[in-house]
Chains A and B, each alone.
Chain A
Amino acid sequence: EADIYQTPRYLVIGTGKKITLECSQTMGHDKMYWYQQDPGMELHLIHYSYGVNSTEKGDLSSESTVSRIRTEHFPLTLESARPSHTSQYLCASSLQGYGYTFGSGTRLTVV
């Protein structure tokens, strides 16, 4: 059973709205990640964090922002959603040298 939780599972929202995708883990992992994945496509790293107050941009440029105020919480925010943001967003966490644990993802649709 996964110990990393993403909410909401699905979100349909209008253009221009501010949204926050939640990600929480109960495993005490220092490292957390956000990936973006279009249907049937590869994953692209958009943000990562190696601990509290540490955030970095990933390999794929994204208009989203993240914060890491607590170890267990790594929310992703879009200040003004656009149709081009429509995608699946996957959160993951890990311990150094071990595999990632992924959440179930948030499927975002911006209309």
Chain B
Amino acid sequence: SQQGEEDPQALSIQEGENATMNCSYKTSINNLQWYRQNSGRGLVHLILIRSNEREKHSGRLRVTLDTSKKSSSLLITASRAADTASYFCATGPYNTDKLIFGTGTRLQVFP
């Protein structure tokens, strides 16, 4: 079965609001990554957080990692209509460069 489970499955918010997505995983990891996918396109890498890090920022994105709970969250602040996309977490287990993707959260931001 897939490593990552994300919730919510779908999220609709207004522009300017914050969006929070959560990811849980099952096994020990080297790192956890977040990706965005616009409809019908490839994925775009957003941010990578290593297992010894607890929080990371990139522009309007904030990622947290709690290895004791095997969970991560992605916060998008001051969302924009252009943030509308599916967001996936992906985990990199130890001793492998293969990424295992979660089920994704579909975010819709209304103008």
A interface residues (Cβ-Cβ under 8 A, vs B): 2, 6, 31, 33, 35, 40-43, 45, 48, 50, 58-59, 88, 90, 92, 94, 96-105, 107
B interface residues (Cβ-Cβ under 8 A, vs A): 2, 30-31, 33, 35, 40-45, 48, 86, 88, 90, 97-104, 106
B11 vs chain A, min Cβ distance (A): 14
Residues of A within 8 A of B30 (CB): 97
A92 to B90, CA, bound (A): 13
Q: Is the CB of B98 within 8 A of A101?
A: no
Q: Is the CB of A33 within 8 A of B33?
A: no
Q: Is the CB of A100 within 8 A of B102?
A: no
Output the nearest chain A residue to B31 by Cβ-Cβ distance: A97
Residues of B within 8 A of A35 (CB): 101
Interface of B is mostly: strand
Residues of A within 8 A of B102 (CB): 42
Q: Is the CB of B41 within 8 A of A48?
A: no
Most chain B CB within a 10 A radius of its CB, from A33, A42, A97, A104: A42
A35 to B68, CA, bound (A): 29
A70 to B104, CA, bound (A): 33
Residues of A within 8 A of B106 (CB): 40
Besides A42-B2, A42-B104, 16 other CB < 8 A contacts?
A2-B42, A33-B99, A58-B98, A90-B42, A97-B31, A97-B97, A99-B33, A99-B35, A99-B45, A99-B48, A100-B33, A102-B44, A103-B42, A104-B42, A105-B40, A107-B40
Q: Can you name 27 A-B residue pairings with CB atoms under 8 Å?
A: A2-B42, A31-B97, A33-B99, A40-B86, A42-B88, A42-B101, A42-B104, A43-B43, A45-B99, A45-B100, A48-B98, A58-B98, A59-B98, A92-B42, A94-B97, A97-B31, A97-B97, A98-B48, A99-B33, A99-B45, A102-B35, A102-B44, A102-B45, A104-B41, A105-B40, A105-B42, A107-B40
Q: Is the CB of B44 within 8 A of A42?
A: no
Residues of A within 8 A of B31 (CB): 97
